């Protein structure tokens, strides 16, 4: 869940409802009553995220561990230095090859959703990580 800013949903709700609640009852028990305040009719979280390019980009950034993103502006404005450094730590570390490959895939997805300085920063990180990965792979052959 995240409180979004600048989307069509009221009260910053565009990024909410990722949490699930499981009600476990015996098989023959009647369906439990849930008060309307804890239910919503917005549909599955992932489908709502995919329906809006900016929300999807924010969702994938959060999957990358960048939790402070909340608005479409975060997909154009430059990332903070500490965010870039944390991404470099994963992407440029040969000991984190599996995690780096996952991060590269996420960055490729986010590049489709962002623009401006943010896009340039991510594209540069991806380019450098790919060239480093090529050099590392060449050492093992």
The rounded distance, in Å, linking the Cα atoms of 125 and 12 is 31
pLDDT score, position 24: 86
User: Which residues face 133 on adjacent strands?
Assistant: none
Residue 35 is predicted with a pLDDT of 82
Tell me, letter by letter, the H, E, C secondary structure of 63-111.
HCCCCCCCEHHHHCCCCCHHHHHHHHHHHCCHHHHHHHHHHHHHHHHHH
Spatial distance between the Cα atoms of 44 and 11, rounded to a whole number of angstroms: 19
3-class DSSP state of 16: coil
What pLDDT is attached to residue 48?
78
Token look-up 């989307």 returns: 7
Question: pLDDT averaged over consecutive 10-residue blocks of the chain (141 residues)?
Answer: 63 55 85 77 75 88 87 92 95 91 95 96 94 57 36
Distance between CA 141 and CA 107 in Å, rounded?
Answer: 27
Q: What is the pLDDT of residue 141?
A: 36
> What local confidence, expressed as pLDDT, does residue 40 receive?
67
3-32 per-residue burial string, b: 16 or more CB within 10 A, e: under 16 = ebeebeeeeeebbbbeeeeeeeeeeeeeee
**Would you say how long the chain is, in residues?**
141
């Amino acid at each position: 869940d995240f409180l979004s800013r600048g989307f069509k949903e009221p009260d910053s709700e565009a990024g909410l409802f990722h949490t699930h609640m499981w009600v476990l009852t015996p098989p023959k028990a009647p369906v439990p009553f849930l008060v309307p305040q804890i239910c919503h009719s917005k549909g599955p979280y992932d489908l709502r995220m995919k329906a809006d390019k900016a929300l999807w980009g924010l969702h994938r950034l959060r999957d990358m561990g960048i939790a402070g993103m909340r608005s479409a502006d975060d997909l154009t404005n430059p990332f903070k230095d500490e965010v870039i450094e944390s991404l470099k730590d994963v992407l440029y570390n040969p000991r984190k090859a599996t995690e780096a490959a996952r991060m590269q895939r996420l960055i490729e997805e986010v590049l489709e959703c962002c623009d401006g300085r943010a896009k340039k920063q991510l594209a540069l990180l991806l380019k450098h990580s790919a060239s480093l990965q090529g050099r590392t792979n060449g050492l093992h052959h």
